[in-house]
Amino acid sequence: MVQHSALYVDEDQSRVVFGVSIGVLVLEVISFALFIVGRGKIKMLNSFETYLLVPAFFCALLSPISTLYLVAHGLKRDGKVLFISEVQIWLKFTILMQSFAWIVGCSVSKISILLIGHKVFVHPVYRPISFVIMAIVVIHAVVGIVLACTLCTPLAYEWNKTIPGGHCIDVEKTFTWISFPNIVTDVAMVILPQPFIWRLKLAREQKIGLTITFITFGIGTITSIVRFAKYFTFNLGDNKWDLLSHLWTTIEIGGYFISACLPSVRALLAPVIARIKSQDCSSGGSL
C-alpha cells in the first residue's frame, strides 16, 4: 500500500469545489428568479415550458448541494488517498443524486428551450425537426436513468464489493459516453434556429438579437464538451477520484438551466436596453 505524507493527505480541493458549487447555486437561483419575473412581464407565466423549468430548477439545485454535501463528508482530497468509508458515501451520492439530477435537469431544460423555439418559429420544417430532437432527448433521459439504476446488480454492489454474486457493467465507459448524445443534440439545437431567424420579418437588429439569444444555448454545449473530455482522465477503476471532474457535472446542469432561463431574462432587459438607446439618440441629437 502506498503511504502518503500528512501534507499530501491534508492538501485538498475543497476551496475550489466549495466556491464553484456556491457560485453555480447562486447563479441558478438568480436566473430562475429573473425567469419567473420575465415570464410574468410578457404574460407567459402560465405556459408548459415555464412548468417544465420548475423540476429542472430543483434538479439544478440538487447537484451543487449534493456536491457540497460530499465535500462536507471528507471527499476533498485527490482520490488516491480517499478511504473506504468516503468512497462509499461518494458512490451512493454519485449514483442516487448526481446521476438523477444530471439526467433529468439537463433533459428538461433542453425540452423547455425547444418549446420556446416553437413560440418563435412557425415554419413547417422547424417543428418536425425540433420534435425529433426532443424525442432523442427523452429517449436519452430514459436510457440514462435505466443505466444509472442498473450499473451494478444489485445496485449496492457499486459501493459494497463484498456482496456475493454482485457484478457491474463498465461504469467508467458508461459515465463517459452517456454525455455524448447530449453534445450531438446540443449542436443541433444551436444550429437549427439560425436559418429560420433570418427568414423572419423583423428588423436586422432584432434578428441579430435572436441569433445571439439562441447561440447562448451553447453554454450548456460548452460545459457538456468539457465534462466529456474530463471524464477521459477520470479513472474509476484505479480509484483515482477527481472531484474537480465530478464538479463539471454540476457546472453542466447549471449551464443548461441558465441557458433555458436566458430568453425570458432578455425580455426583461429589453425595456432597459431600449431606454439606453433612446437616451443615446437624444444625446447625439443635442450635439
pLDDT one-digit tens code per residue, 91-142: 666 656 777 888 888 999 999 888 888 887 878 888 999 999 999 999 999 9
| 3-class secondary-structure state, position 235 | coil
Whether 179 has a pLDDT exceeding 80, the answer reads yes
CATH fold group of domain 14-263: Rhopdopsin 7-helix transmembrane proteins (1.20.1070)
Alpha-carbon distance 246 to 101, whole Å? 13
Give the pLDDT of residue 7. 43
Pairing of strands 152-153, 167-168: antiparallel
Can you tell me the mean pLDDT for 36-48?
Answer: 83
pLDDT one-digit tens code per residue, 212-225: 777 777 777 888 88
Alpha helices in 73-125 (DSSP H): 84-93, 99-120
The single-letter DSSP state of residue 121 is -
User: What are the residue ranges spanned by the domains of the chain?
Assistant: 14-263
Beta bridge partners of residue 77, listed in sequence order: 12
The identity of residue 103, as a single letter, is I
Alpha-carbon distance 172 to 64, whole Å? 22
Contact 68, 220 (CB under 8 A): no
Give the pLDDT of residue 190. 87
For cell 430562475, the residue is: 32
| 3-class secondary-structure state, position 122 | coil
Q: How confident is the model at residue 58 (pLDDT cuts 50, 70, 90)?
A: very high
Give the pLDDT of residue 90. 63
Alpha-carbon distance 249 to 102, whole Å? 7
